[in-house]
Amino acid sequence: MSRFVGLDIGSSATKGALVCDGQVLRCVIVPSMPDMLAAARQAVAALEAGDAPVLTTGYGRALFEPRIAQVSEITALAAGIGRLHPEAKTVVDIGGQDSKVVRVAEGRVADFAMNDRCAAGTGRFLEVMSRVLHVPFDRFDQVAASDVAPLPVTSTCTVFAESEVVGLLSGQAPPAGILKGVMASISVRIAALARQVGLAAPVFATGGAMHSQALVAALSDALGMPVQVPEAPQTVTARGAAWLCAQRQSPNRSTGV
Amino acid sequence: MNPTGPRGLAANQRLQKTIRNQVLFTRAAKMLGRPVAWVTSGSPVEILLAAGIIPFYPENHAAICSARNMAADLSDVAEAEGYSRDLCSYFRIDRGAMVTQKTPLGRMVAPDVVLASNNICGTVQHWFSITARHFEVPFWFVDTPFTEASPSESDVAYVRDQLVELAEQAGRLGGRRVTEQRLSRVVARSREALVLWREVLATAAARPAPLTSFDAFVHMAPIVSMRGTRRAVRYYRHLLAEVSARRTSGTAAVPQERARVVWDNIAIWPAHRELKRAFKQAGVALVADTYTHAWTVEHLDPSDPFTSLARVYTDILLNHGALHRHKVLARMVREFGADGFILHSNRSCKRYSLGQLGVKRAVSDETGALGVVIEADMADPRAVSIEHLMQRLNPFFEALGGGT
């Protein structure tokens, strides 16, 4: 049976995808912490994949055995978006502890950039802000729907931004305005990254954070062009890994990745 | 140990011996009363050698300290004095070494004079004047005008005048007058070593490459710190013979070479071994770099030593604009048949790192090669994270067809 597993062992969530004859049968998402390896095993078990070959990606990709190969998230993301949306030219991914912009051509990486050594512009930034504001992520859109103007929040450093937000809160600033400012801040940061690789439309955005429509809107604003979100944005990389697994296991394997 | 890979260069042992001999020679010469000058890597050292002054290279010394895991402790000393961590790590290490007298070379040899030139950066001007004050010795300085590309004739004349004056001062200190004839002999030796070094580096254009920049980063030590001496010429004759034989026999520095890349900026000494191993595992050969190729200038002309020295030491990669650096890098990508290039954004070296994003785009547009920017530091391990480097290098390798 031609079943293949892609496992994206990320810093905050582990995503698994099972494909059969190119079609996605099942996707699962489990929290990675505190034990990434246990999370990876749990994800594979939940996929009910039997002894299907596994290709891993993500921060914890070297942990899981047995695997047929491991690839970087950028390669898997390009493979995933290339299969789902062959027309995509640019894909932006906000991960748990990094964010990346990849220029893609037919499922391959044409250029890429990652945020520098700082949590600003990553999912961690959103997590920290969510905690300080006492607004859980699934309420982001609801709170941001208020027509309060966004308040400026620094995009340089998560730790600085956190104390800045605490300062704003102590000055009785409305949480909705701060949250909008947070979204604008992370979007500006990512837009700068996107310009490094040369932004080309159409632009897609992936990662769990893209479940927030307000954030997608802020990102579109900062990029100055519409951003599309693929269905199930959090598992695009895992699905890409599963397709790469199939490709690598295929007897008439092409020279591709 | 890599069971599939060839042995490392036999010259590695010769290099250790050559460096050790140079250290012993410097110490002995100092004891016998010969003056020692602490100099920058871009100093017109030929003039000092002609005058009988022995040069010592703090930048080189700092790199050795970093490779021997002493960088953080020595930097701490400078930082405790109030020097910011944002300053050049070579300076902070050197400052720590001069204050504590700690060195992996056994004993520091104090300078009788200090010589710097701003052809590599503005930092050395302050660094070496601090050194001169510390040891209470004279500070000699050669001002080389920054130019977009090649220096003009008036730039060369301006620097030449300074070199003539430097020769007079050096002759007085060294006790040996710097005649054109004497200088010409040293320049000829410098030129011979530079030409040999260029030929060594050129062998990496072969497929598979018989040596990589990881080898060159290490084997550049004599061209930096011994050029102008017979020791350097002898050393590079041996090295060239070895790498030429490897090229002829098709010996690969990276077994199963699947991709070739070029490097911009100084090496990352704290991660040197790890990176070398990672490149090898990924089947990626680092075939050329702007750093070790900086010592391949050929304008040196023994028949006109002062003018040619003035030209060579002004016409230095770091003394030119980003446009020129982009051209050098693009040419290197083509000449060495590279599929990609790496820009090391070096926290310590602003002059080298400024404008790299623009350089990246320009080189990609011109050559079609994929570029990646990695952030690290040449010597300070506290600013180097292997994890972060590999997060960028792994997808880069994969996109080039290398990787696991």
CATH classification of the domain holding A209: 3.30.420.40
Give the pLDDT score at B256: 93
Mean pLDDT for chain A overall = 93
Nearest to A116 among B375, B398, B401 (CB): B375
How much is the average pLDDT of B185-204? Answer: 96
Q: What angle do CA B201, B207, B212 make, to 5 degrees?
A: 40
Query: ipTM score of the complex?
Result: 0.87
Q: Specify whether A192 is located in the same domain as A129.
A: yes
- Chain A interface, best mutation among B339, B365, B386, B394, by max A CB count within 10 A: B394
Q: Specify whether A224 is located in the same domain as A241.
A: no
Range of B165's domain? 11-399
* The total number of structural domains that make up chain A: 2
Which domain CATH number covers B379?
3.40.50.11900
Give the pLDDT score at B2: 40
End-to-end CA distance of chain B: 18
Give the pLDDT score at B402: 85
The burial of B290, by beta-carbon neighbours within 10 Å (0-12 exposed, 13-18 middle, 19 or more buried), is given as: buried
Better-scored residue on pLDDT, A117 or B125: B125
Q: Is B180 on the interface with A (CB under 8 A)?
A: no
Q: Do A113 and B373 touch (CB under 8 A)?
A: yes
Chain A residue at shortest CA distance from B394:
A72
How much is the average pLDDT of A3-27? Answer: 96
- Chain centre distance of CA A236: 8
Q: Indicate whether B196 belongs to any domain.
A: yes
Q: Indicate whether B360 belongs to any domain.
A: yes
Give the pLDDT score at A1: 59
Give the pLDDT score at B404: 65
Q: Specify whether A101 is located in the same domain as A215.
A: yes
Q: Indicate whether B1 belongs to any domain.
A: no
Amino acid at B295: W
Q: How far apart are CA B332 and CA B293, in angstroms?
A: 10
Residue B348 has pLDDT above 50, yes or no: yes
Among the listed residues B348, B211, B189, B326, the one whose alpha carbon sits nearest the alpha carbon of residue B266: B348
How much is the average pLDDT of B48-70? Answer: 96
Q: Do A113 and B391 touch (CB under 8 A)?
A: no
Q: Indicate whether A102 belongs to any domain.
A: yes
Chain A residues whose beta carbon lies within 8 Å of the beta carbon of residue B371: 111
Give the pLDDT score at A157: 82
- Phi first, then psi, for residue B245 (nearest 5°) are -65, -40
Chain A residues whose beta carbon lies within 8 Å of the beta carbon of residue B370: 109-111
How much is the average pLDDT of B179-190? Answer: 97
Q: What angle do CA B295, B206, B2 make, to 5 degrees?
A: 95
Better-scored residue on pLDDT, B4 or B85: B85
Range of A18's domain? 3-81+235-249
pTM of the predicted protein model: 0.91
Q: Do B398 and A70 touch (CB under 8 A)?
A: no
How much is the average pLDDT of A244-251? Answer: 90
Q: How far apart are CA B321 and CA B342, in angstroms?
A: 19
Give the pLDDT score at B87: 97
Nearest to B392 among A75, A111, A114 (CB): A114
Q: Specify whether A128 is located in the same domain as A214.
A: yes
Q: Specify whether A77 is located in the same domain as A120.
A: no
Q: Do A71 and B388 touch (CB under 8 A)?
A: no
Q: How far apart are CA A177 and CA A164, in angstroms?
A: 13
Give the pLDDT score at A156: 72
Chain B residues whose beta carbon lies within 8 Å of the beta carbon of residue A112: 372, 395-396, 399
Residues near B130 by beta carbon (within 8 Å), at least 6 away in sequence: B95
Q: Indicate whether A92 belongs to any domain.
A: yes
Q: Specify whether A125 is located in the same domain as A12.
A: no
Q: State how far the alpha carbon of A256 is from the alpha carbons of A24, B27, B250, B299, B347, in Å.
A: 21, 58, 27, 46, 36
Q: Is B365 on the interface with A (CB under 8 A)?
A: no
Residue A28 has pLDDT above 50, yes or no: yes
Give the pLDDT score at A255: 44
Nearest to B357 among A73, A98, A196 (CB): A196
Q: Do B404 and A69 touch (CB under 8 A)?
A: yes
Chain B residues whose beta carbon lies within 8 Å of the beta carbon of residue A70: 404
Model confidence band, residue B295 (pLDDT cutoffs 50, 70, 90): confident
Model confidence band, residue B4 (pLDDT cutoffs 50, 70, 90): very low
Chain B residues whose beta carbon lies within 8 Å of the beta carbon of residue A116: 375
Residue B303 has pLDDT above 70, yes or no: yes
Dump pLDDT digits (tens) for A163-213: 999 999 999 999 999 999 999 999 999 999 999 898 999 999 999 999 999
Chain A residue at shortest CA distance from B374:
A116
Q: State how far the alpha carbon of B372 is from the alpha carbons of A59, B87, B326, in Å.
A: 20, 25, 14
What is the arrangement of strands in the sheet containing A203-206, beginning at the earlier edge strand?
Answer: A108-114, A99-105, A90-94, A203-206, A227-228
Give the pLDDT score at A117: 66
Q: How far apart are CA A183 and CA A105, in angstroms?
A: 29
Q: Indicate whether B351 belongs to any domain.
A: yes
Among the listed residues A24, A66, A23, the one whose alpha carbon sits nearest the alpha carbon of residue A44: A66
Better-scored residue on pLDDT, B153 or B298: B153
Q: Indicate whether A47 belongs to any domain.
A: yes
Residue B376 has pLDDT above 80, yes or no: yes
Residues of chain A with pLDDT > 90, as a percent, come to 83
Residues near A253 by beta carbon (within 8 Å), at least 6 away in sequence: A247
Q: Do B399 and A198 touch (CB under 8 A)?
A: no
Spatial contact of B373 and B345, defined as CB atoms under 8 Å apart: yes
Residues of chain B with pLDDT > 90, as a percent, come to 94
Model confidence band, residue B6 (pLDDT cutoffs 50, 70, 90): low
How much is the average pLDDT of B279-283? Answer: 96
Q: State how far the alpha carbon of B178 is from the alpha carbons of B33, B170, B205, in Å.
A: 19, 8, 40
Q: Which two tokens stand for residue A174?
A: 């409305």
Q: Which two tokens stand for residue B322?
A: 């980003």
Q: Specify whether A115 is located in the same domain as A54.
A: no
Q: Do A109 and B388 touch (CB under 8 A)?
A: no
| Structure-token match 């208020």, residue found | A146
Residues near A19 by beta carbon (within 8 Å), at least 6 away in sequence: A3, A4, A5, A6, A25, A239, A242, A243, A245, A246
Q: Specify whether A59 is located in the same domain as A92.
A: no
Q: Specify whether A105 is located in the same domain as A188.
A: yes
Q: Specify whether A124 is located in the same domain as A179.
A: yes
Length of chain B: 404
Residue B364 has pLDDT above 50, yes or no: yes
Give the pLDDT score at A73: 96
Count how many pairs of residues, chain A against chain B, have C-beta atoms within 8 Å: 48
Q: Indicate whether A254 belongs to any domain.
A: no
Model confidence band, residue B1 (pLDDT cutoffs 50, 70, 90): very low
* The total number of structural domains that make up chain B: 1
CA max distance for chain A: 65
Q: Specify whether A212 is located in the same domain as A93.
A: yes
Q: Indicate whether A40 belongs to any domain.
A: yes
Nearest to B385 among A98, A117, A198 (CB): A117
Residue B112 has pLDDT above 80, yes or no: yes
Dump pLDDT digits (tens) for A61-111: 999 999 999 999 999 999 999 999 999 999 999 998 889 999 999 889 999
Q: Do B398 and A109 touch (CB under 8 A)?
A: yes
Q: Specify whether A129 is located in the same domain as A218.
A: yes
